[in-house]
Amino acid sequence: GEDVEQSLFLSVREGDSSVINCTYTDSSSTYLYWYKQEPGAGLQLLTYIFSNMDMKQDQRLTVLLNKKDKHLSLRIADTQTGDSAIYFCAASSGNTGKLIFGQGTTLQVKP
């Protein structure tokens, strides 16, 4: 079945850029998503990209998609301490509406 993989941990200094990477296996995934989860809370949709796009930018967030390699990345510019959280990559699964989530990447931002 579909699988989504992420690295588990990333540590950066405040003000630096953060890049979180994700790979997926289902080439038919139409949409790919990035969610943020803070401790004890639900998931907040940050952004999503349609599979026929290479890049999407939204303020400090840039999503890059390499469909050939099935690789997705999320770049956070000027990372702040408030960006510390777990970031989940998710891929849509066929026409079911289901999302397949990665394991989540814990982003630690040091002052």
Partner 1 sequence: GAVVSQHPSWVICKSGTSVKIECRSLDFQATTMFWYRQFPKQSLMLMATSNEGSKATYEQGVEKDKFLINHASLTLSTLTVTSAHPEDSSFYICSAQSPTGGGEQYFGPGTRLTVT
Out of 10, 18, 24, 33, name the contact with partner 1 by CB under 8 A. Answer: 33
Pick 17 or 30: Cβ nearer partner 1: 30
User: ∠ CA 18-21-24 to the nearest 5 degrees?
Assistant: 160
Q: Using the rule CB under 8 A, is 50 a contact of partner 1?
A: yes
Pairing outcome for strands 105-110 and 9-13: parallel
Q: Using the rule CB under 8 A, is 40 a contact of partner 1?
A: yes
Q: Using the rule CB under 8 A, is 55 a contact of partner 1?
A: no
Beta-strand runs (E) in 51-94: 55-58, 61-66, 71-76, 85-93
- Contacts to partner 1 by CB under 8 A: 30-31, 33, 35, 40-45, 48, 50, 88, 92, 96-99, 101-104
